Amino acid sequence: MPLFFIALLSAYLIGNLYIFIRGAQAVTHLPWGFKILLALLFWSTALSFIGSFLMRDLKLPVTLSHTLHTIGTGWLVFTLYMVLSLLLFDLLRLFNTPFKQGFTTSLLLTISLLGYGYYNFKNPQTKVINITINQAIAQNKQPIKAIAISDVHLGHGTGKKQLKQYVDHINNLHPDLILIAGDLIDNSVTPLYEQQMQEELSQLKAPLGIYMVPGNHEFISEIEKCIPFLEQTPIQLLRDTVVTLPNGLQLIGRDDRSNRKRLPLETLMKQSDSTKPTLLLDHQPYHLSETEKAGIDIQFSGHTHHGQIWPITLLTDYLFEQSYGYRQWGKSHIYVSSGLSLWGPPFRIGTNSEFVLFNITGK
């Protein structure tokens, strides 16, 4: 994992150096003083990504911390699309098709694309999935309405104001059950306490309960610090735990893969009742054939963000056997969410933020 981050950081710095060189070529006509000012502005913005990560545990004013986080992480996507666009124009030059305004055009295209991505992120969809499972559900005169979310990433990026909008939307759907498939918390619990986000989470309402499993970011935030925060809310954290609801539906909550000592799915199934329906919460969607083999009725996962932005979507499609959406594996119904909010940059390009509404009926 450290090698991955070193490679990512190296690529990021090389990409910014490429943009800087091409930008310097585009402003040769400007006075030296103005060019120096632009250079300082460029590199302070480019390096703000590293600074925002290093300062994630500092108690800064909410507006300042949110601004630093947005600029720092947003520059990641700016770098990606600027590099791709500039490379395209440089390739045209190789084929004797020069374009004199390549840098300016790349800049305008990138800014327009980021504007669309921000709007798309701020307007999540509600996906409705109707599922009929083979097991009977007690008192199942009406389908169980379960709202499932993942990857909210509360912190400097997704703050209390955004969280209130999410909570209001969930409550307006009047769910019987609320499921959270990990990464509720981003990189630190510090901004959650600073903004008193437990107040908004405590407004969630569902008669059958609110259940959550940890994700890898709960471990990044230190799981021992996340647990006391969650205990101030109605959210019940499941870590290798089986819970049976009053209607007989069994929730199996797996600890995240970050915990290498987590129990195998086979062991958790032995703790459940094979005559009752099962719904598995597991943050990272790996080894889905084990879900089918175990006889799980429904699995809900997140983690992938479906790449969040194109062309990272192509990478997640390659890395995961199911990187997004609904698929039936034998008798098992598996849904992998693209997530409600985001890690890092506030843009959705080629993907959507989403709430998932399950209408679950038993035979």
Parse the chain into domains and list their residue ranges.
2-121, 124-362
**Per-residue pLDDT reduced to its tens digit, 322-342:** 999 999 999 999 999 999 999
Alpha carbon of 150 to those of 205, 283, 336, 341: distances in Å? Answer: 17, 8, 9, 8
Which CATH architecture best describes the domain 124-362?
Answer: 4-Layer Sandwich (3.60)
Token readout for 338 is 């693209």
CA dihedral defined by 306, 308, 310, 311, rounded to 10 degrees? -60
Q: Is the pLDDT of residue 216 over 90?
A: yes
- pLDDT class for 140, splitting at 50, 70, 90? low
- pLDDT class for 101, splitting at 50, 70, 90? confident
Cα 217 from Cα 132, distance rounded (Å): 32
> Which of 259, 266, 271, 309 shows the shortest CA–CA distance to 287?
266
> Which of 151, 117, 204 shows the shortest CA–CA distance to 356?
151
**Per-residue pLDDT reduced to its tens digit, 275-311:** 899 999 999 999 999 999 999 999 999 999 999 999 9
The pLDDT value recorded for residue 293 is: 94
